[in-house]
Amino acid sequence: MASLIEAFILLLGIIDPPASFGAFMSFTKKMNEKKKRRIALKSVFVASLVFFVFAIFGGNLLDLLGVNIESFRAAGGIILVLLGIQMSLGLSLPKEKNGVHEVAVIIGTPLITGPATITTAILLVKESGLITTLIAGTGALLITMTALLLSTYLSRIIGVIGIRILSTIMGIITIAWGLQFILTGITNFGL
């Protein structure tokens, strides 16, 4: 149970619903509620598809490519650190897009399920098992979907400052996990 909770918190931190929420609000600010709902559902569908494919087949893909898991862990740690810095400092979001499909794909990947989430999914399967990883990922994706579906309501309650604070806290946690991935990868690679 502890590994499930840890995996869930890690994936929730990396998927970062507040950052996805902020991007979603930016991309959809001139759209009606029906269009926003379609984009939210399509975004999470795209993110889920990418997450499940890499959680299930990612380890085999690494083996096929001859990539050592510890090297992949350290590389993923670097991505996590950079992502955490981006989240903490509120740096760059993609340029504004207009089409429903285009916006859904950009929010789905790389914002919700990007390189850091893919790396983490592969590593979690190796460490905690496939079922634990899939359950934790599903939980994090459901929270993200809920945030996107309730975006108009939540933005009124939380406000821009609240979203920024949540994203900063999640960014700091992500940096710490990234550093741990790097250190563990380097240490284990030397053994």
Q: Is the Cα dihedral 152, 158, 162, 167 positive or negative?
A: negative
Percent of the chain with pLDDT over 70: 92
Residue 146 has pLDDT above 50, yes or no: yes
30 by Cβ neighbours in 10 Å (0-12 / 13-18 / 19+) ranks as exposed
What's the pLDDT score for residue 138? 97
Q: Is the Cα dihedral 19, 22, 24, 27 positive or negative?
A: negative
Q: Give me the domains of the chain, ranges plus CATH numbers.
A: 2-190 (1.20.1250)
Would the pTM of this model clear 0.85, i.e. be above it? Answer: no
Residue 153 has pLDDT above 90, yes or no: no
Residue 103 has pLDDT above 80, yes or no: no
**In the predicted model, what is the mean pLDDT of the chain?**
84
What's the pLDDT score for residue 12? 92
Q: Measure the CA–CA gap between 28 and 79, rounded to whole angstroms.
A: 27
What's the pLDDT score for residue 93? 47
> CA nearest 97: which of 43, 18, 61?
43
As a whole number, mean pLDDT of residues 27-56 equals 91
- Convert the pLDDT of each residue in 7-38 to its tens digit: 999 999 888 887 777 778 777 877 888 999 99
Q: Measure the CA–CA gap between 160 and 132, rounded to whole angstroms.
A: 34
Q: Measure the CA–CA gap between 51 and 73, rounded to whole angstroms.
A: 17
As a whole number, mean pLDDT of residues 47-64 equals 92
- Convert the pLDDT of each residue in 156-178 to its tens digit: 887 778 777 777 777 787 788 78
Write the DSSP string, 48-97: HHHHHHHHHHHHHHHHHHT--HHHHHHHHHHHHHHHHHHHHHT---PPP-
What's the pLDDT score for residue 67? 84
What's the pLDDT score for residue 84? 77
